[in-house]
Amino acid sequence: MSTMTIRNVSAELAAALKEEKRRRGLSLNRTVLALIEESLGVSGNIRSNGLGGLAGTWSEDRFRQFEESVAPFGEVDSELWR
């Protein structure tokens, strides 16, 4: 393991880190490490914006059905464009 020092932390960033530390209930060091791991994708806990739970995902079959359903909207009626 390495030890690193971060210099020139703005007051705004320090306050945001302290708030995140309080929200997570972790030490400041663990909070900073977790944030860095999540943002760089080097942990198993990739940060999510939560939209996946709201929007869900489609199966391949469902996606194929959708594509077939909307395909007519991409067709041009040449008679209308004369």
What residue segments make up the domains of the chain, in order of their start?
Answer: 9-46
Q: How far is CA 71 from the centre of its chain?
A: 30
The residue among 57 and 20 whose pLDDT is bigger is: 20
State the pLDDT at residue 12: 97
Position 52 pLDDT exceeds 90: no
Position 53 pLDDT exceeds 70: no
pTM of the model: 0.53
For 70, the enclosing helix (H) or strand (E) is helix 60-70
pLDDT tens profile 32-47: 999 998 888 887 666 6
